[in-house]
Amino acid sequence: MVYVAPLYRPPSEASSLILQVTIGCSHNQCTFCYMYKTKKYRIKSLEEIKQHIQWGQSVYPHARRIFLADGNVLSMPTQDLINVLHILFEEFPYLERVTAYAGPKDLLAKSDEELAQIRQAGLSMLYLGVESGSPKVLANIQKGVTPEEMILAGQKARQAGFLLSCTIILGIGGKELTAEHAVETAKVISAMQPHYLGALTLMIEEKTVLKTQIESGEFQLLNPLEVIDELIMMIEPMELENCVFRSNHASNYLYLKGTLNKDKEKLLRTLKEAKNNSAMLAAEESRLL
Ligand code: SF4
């Protein structure tokens, strides 16, 4: 077995060679997430990573893009990660970009200088799961950071020169916190100014704390129109300079693409149109099919 399953990557890394340098997630506590719950977190040894790189060379020697899995690659000691990046650029002559998931706590744990060194060694883009900007929602889902810390993590990544791709989750505040989730997320994202922003819609995974909260009635899911309302409330106050926005994941009820703020009015028009025309929304059973 080359990979320690299950393996995840962002949709935009579909054509990338995936190399696993850590196993699992160093946080692994978010109440909605089951991605790495079956794995005990660890950083692979350099010997294991070299073997994996050798395998990668044998199957994809012309790789132009490499995604470093699993979650939180920045939890590696800085010099080890830099060494791995040097090996990658030596061994893959066509390599153009290396990307990874980043956890906010791991970003905060690195100094600005360390982040700049990692960026210089060739890690160019980070995927950061922001999920929400609401302090209550972040606490409820056990994200492990406050909105202020999340903003700082994103700003540190940008200042070090990384391309920053953030995701937020529509519906993650439930019915009770939908308005707060929308308004506070707009503030946090505006403060971070990511280059890319993806809005997913909450999907309930088996064996998660959130599933139990739904079953007990503690958490109430939004219906599709409430999700649309939430996104309207979120986009309206956002102030972004040049952010590629996508809400075209298989989890979404409505597919949207644009650049914020340039296309804000167009996106809002489409959302308001969808409120009056449910035929524009994906059927519940087709989500993630
Ligand atoms: S940090 Fe990401 S991968 Fe880790 S538990 Fe939270 S959502 Fe899941």
Residue range 106-138, pLDDT digits in tens: 999 999 999 999 999 999 999 999 999 999 999
Q: Which of 7, 35, 75 to mutate to test the pocket of ligand 1 (most atoms within 8 A of CB)?
A: 35
pTM comes to 0.96
30 lines ligand 1 (CB under 6 A): yes
Residue range 224-234, pLDDT digits in tens: 999 999 999 99
Confidence of residue 170 (pLDDT cuts 50, 70, 90): very high
- Amino acid 205: pLDDT: 92
| Dihedral over alpha carbons 227, 232, 233, 236 (to 10 degrees) | 160
150 lines ligand 1 (CB under 6 A): no
Confidence of residue 72 (pLDDT cuts 50, 70, 90): confident
Asked if 171 and 222 touch (Cβ cutoff 8 Å), the reply is yes
Is residue 3 assigned to a domain? no
What mean pLDDT is predicted for residues 262-276? 96
Is residue 6 assigned to a domain? no
* Cα torsion 139, 143, 147, 152: sign: positive
Is residue 231 assigned to a domain? yes
From atom 6 of ligand 1, which residue's Cα is the shortest distance away? 30
Q: Which of 33, 142, 168 to mutate to test the pocket of ligand 1 (most atoms within 8 A of CB)?
A: 33
C-alpha of residue 128 to centroid of ligand 1, in Å: 10
**CA nearest neighbour of 190 among 230, 157, 239, 155:** 239
Is residue 287 assigned to a domain? no
- Look up residue 184 and give its amino acid: E
User: How many structural domains compose the chain?
Assistant: 1
117 lines ligand 1 (CB under 6 A): no
| CATH number of the domain encompassing residue 264 | 3.20.20.70
Confidence of residue 284 (pLDDT cuts 50, 70, 90): confident
Confidence of residue 175 (pLDDT cuts 50, 70, 90): very high
Whether residue 289 is predicted with pLDDT greater than 60 in this model: the reply is no
Whether residue 26 is predicted with pLDDT greater than 80 in this model: the reply is yes
Is residue 261 assigned to a domain? yes
Domain that holds residue 108: 11-282
What mean pLDDT is predicted for residues 205-212? 95
- Amino acid 245: pLDDT: 98
- As a whole number, the mean pLDDT across the chain is 96
- Amino acid 150: pLDDT: 98
Whether residue 31 is predicted with pLDDT greater than 60 in this model: the reply is yes
Question: Distance between the two ends of the chain, CA-based, in angstroms?
Answer: 27
**CA nearest neighbour of 225 among 288, 274, 183:** 274
Confidence of residue 288 (pLDDT cuts 50, 70, 90): low
228 lines ligand 1 (CB under 6 A): no
Whether residue 91 is predicted with pLDDT greater than 60 in this model: the reply is yes
Residue range 138-154, pLDDT digits in tens: 999 999 999 999 999 99
DSSP string, 105-168: HHHHHS-HHHHHHHHHTTEEEEEEEEE---HHHHHHTT-SS-HHHHHHHHHHHHHTT-EEEEEE
Is residue 80 assigned to a domain? yes
From atom 5 of ligand 1, which residue's Cα is the shortest distance away? 28
Whether residue 180 is predicted with pLDDT greater than 80 in this model: the reply is yes
Is residue 235 assigned to a domain? yes
74 lines ligand 1 (CB under 6 A): no
Q: Which of 25, 203, 209 to mutate to test the pocket of ligand 1 (most atoms within 8 A of CB)?
A: 25
Is residue 1 assigned to a domain? no
Whether residue 68 is predicted with pLDDT greater than 90 in this model: the reply is yes
